[in-house]
Structure 1
Amino acid sequence: MFQATFQSTAVGKSHMAALLDTVAQASTRPRYAFMLLSLIAEVADGDGKAGPFVRRGNHAETLRDWLCDSLTPMAGRDPRRIALAERVRDELERKGRLARDPAEAALLLQQEVRDRIRVSGKANLSRAVSELVRAGLLRRHYAGYRVDHQNRGGHRHVVYTLIGQARCLLQRHAPKDRRQGELAFN
């Protein structure tokens, strides 16, 4: 009985509601997966393709690094994150790598914590992307040196393409000042 009621209300869903439902069904961490899809849509071109590099001003970095850094503040108050910073400080002090100048020490500590967070963030990112690929919301391939390929390696970096229901996110990030059929002249 409940299932019949649920199905009848699901028919009238908006594109975004249907996407949220799919993400919730497919992902073990749906909020994280949806934030990931939103960030990909933010840097994607009109075809939904993002990567292999993200350019911000004069700086370009790989899509995976940019996504990890963008999602990092979400866990800033996490007790594990605070404990990691303390462990890194203790480790640097034991190895004698921590500078005597407090400003230099803080900078070194911040860099080392960021690097370690990025490593674990890439693992989380890969797990979430794999779930989204299985759900038919994202396509992943690698581009770069010599030949595009389905597998990484050989100086290739990841490219994500929004597909299926996830393409509704592209409309949210489309430029507001352009109308269909208009050409931009610079």
Structure 2
Amino acid sequence: MFHGSIKPRSPGAGDLSALLDRLAHASTRPRYAFMLLTLIAEVARPDGSAGPLVAKDGTVQPLRDWLCDALTPMGGRDPRRLALAARLRAELAGQGALPADPDAASLAVEEQVKLRVRASGKTNLSRAVSEMVAAGLLRRHYQGYRVDHHNRGAQRQAVYTLTGLACILIAPATPIPVPPVAPPPNRPRQGELSL
């Protein structure tokens, strides 16, 4: 009935499905990579760059530490994480460093688990970032006290910049205005007489 030309979307059209397709082909862990990109976009400036420090909930910490801490709850029910908590509880009890109060003991174990998970999480984070850099979704450099550089070291911290298709995750700087909805006109219903 209606004939018109429908233009197919090009893979670089900038929509979410194209980003997910790129992640599925470029990453060994696409779900993890998507969560990572989303978190970077959450703290990114309007130019797409995030880091070297993140200020959240009244604290300032390096971007990589914040990303690891933000992703930590995803493995909370993992049997390896539960075994690590049990092992650390036994280690602290063996050293006599476990508080007698059960709540304080749980907090001490949680803090030790957090430190160990953060250390191993940085390895996972670096691997995922390297895959996304190769896919053209991120750019990475290190910002330091005196000199910025593409290699880390000398007290430089990571800065990640969303590029390419990943830029669609950045929230617009100003909210998109929504026009007000006009109330429907006051018309009489069928069978009623308007007075």
Give TM-score, length-normalised by structure 2. Answer: 0.81
Q: 5 Å matches for 1:29-68?
A: 29-68=29-68
**1:22-59 deviation per Cα after TM superposition (whole angstroms, max 9, x unaligned):** 11101110000001001101111111000001112431
Offset, 1:11: 4.1
What do you get for the CA RMSD once the two structures are aligned? 2.0
Q: Is the 8 A contact 2:46 2:173 kept in 1?
A: no
1:116–1:136 Cα change, 3 Å: same
Q: Identify the residue that residue 101 of structure 2 maps to in structure 1.
A: 101
Is 1:177 the counterpart of 2:175? The answer is yes
Give the secondary structure class of the aligned counterpart of 2:77.
Answer: coil
More displaced stretch, 140-149 vs 88-97? 88-97
Q: Identify the residue that residue 76 of structure 1 maps to in structure 2.
A: 76
The count of residues paired between Structure 1 and Structure 2 equals: 170
Larger relative helix fraction: 1
Q: 5 Å matches for 1:155-174?
A: 155-170=155-170, 173-174=171-172
Greater radius of gyration (CA): 2
Amino acid at match of 1:16: L
Is 1:28 the counterpart of 2:53? The answer is no
1:106–1:57 Cα change, 3 Å: closer
Give the secondary structure class of the aligned counterpart of 1:20.
Answer: helix
The gaps in structure 2 that reach 5 residues or longer are 1-7, 178-195
Give the secondary structure class of the aligned counterpart of 2:158.
Answer: strand
Q: Is the 8 A contact 2:14 2:168 kept in 1?
A: no
Q: Is the 8 A contact 2:140 2:159 kept in 1?
A: yes
Give TM-score, length-normalised by structure 1. Answer: 0.84
Whole-angstrom CA distance in 2 between matches of 1:59 and 1:78: 28
